[in-house]
Amino acid sequence: MGGLVEGKAALVTGAASGIGRATALALAREGARVLVTDRDGAGAEAVAKEIGGSARAARVDVTREEEVDAMVRGALAAFGRLDCAVNAAGVLGPPGPLHDLALEAFERTLAVNLTGLFLCLKRELVAMRAQGAGAIVNVSSGGGLIGTPFLAAYCASKHAVLGLTKTAALENARAGVRVNAICPGSTDTPMLQGFMGSSPEARKMILATAPSGRLGAPEEIAEAAVWLCSDRASYVSGESMLVDLAAVAR
């Protein structure tokens, strides 16, 4: 039997580590040809090498429109089409209370998490609309649905991702393109470990948000992204899917 995305062409941003890496690996395991992209070009190359076969890698800074354009053109040149895209590139931003947050830090976080995702989404939609089909998954967060103390910029950007997702889903339903978001709970990634290591209070706060008493694994989040990319989810669009073992259900 074929995989969930057998024969499909996919790209993943932020794929050198964490949820992006796990998603790229899962898409490949389920039969997709994958373009692995990240600002860390060497990391992207390592993941593509780990996948092997038809996988490709590219260094992409999602805040630079010309690099995003080149990324999508590269996917089309390599695979002939673009069936799936998972926009996982993101940063946490410096932790601290909102009243101490520097404008530069706020704008940098939004540049990656929101503007960068917008640029990717825009170019992916153009490619998919032209072929009359496609599925896009944007990585938001549980912090896109509820407040997140000491991470104001991150929280604001992830809320905004859900608005972009819903709008894009409505605009493109008749064009055959589905757009969804996943909202992971606290997941064991290098980004989260860095935040948890910033102070005992940060670690305590994160663990307190996990009713199960454990962090999620990137592979668990990736499974949801792959399903949303697959034809099994053919009637799902505009969804903000929580993948958090009931963390936001409280």
**How many angstroms separate the CA atoms of 84 and 90, rounded?**
19
Any catalytic annotation for residue 235? no
pLDDT of residue 148: 87
Confidence band, pLDDT 50/70/90 cuts, at residue 194: confident
Distance of CA 142 to the CA centre of its chain: 13
Check: CB of residue 132 under 8 Å from CB of residue 150: no
Mean pLDDT calculated for residue range 144-148: 93
Amino acid at 196: M
Burial zone of 146 (CB within 10 Å; 0-12 exposed, 13-18 middle, 19+ buried): middle
Catalytic residue among 154, 168, 187, 239: 154
How high is the mean pLDDT of the chain? 94
For residues 242 and 247, give the distance between their C-alpha atoms in angstroms, rounded to a whole number: 9
* Cα–Cα dist 140/149, whole Å: 17
Q: Are 243 and 221 in contact (CB under 8 A)?
A: yes
104-126 pLDDT, tens digit each: 999 999 999 999 999 999 999 99
Cross-strand partners of 138: 87, 181
Domains of the chain and CATH, by start:
9-243 (3.40.50.720)
Per-residue pLDDT reduced to its tens digit, 34-78: 999 999 999 999 999 999 999 999 999 999 999 999 999 999 999
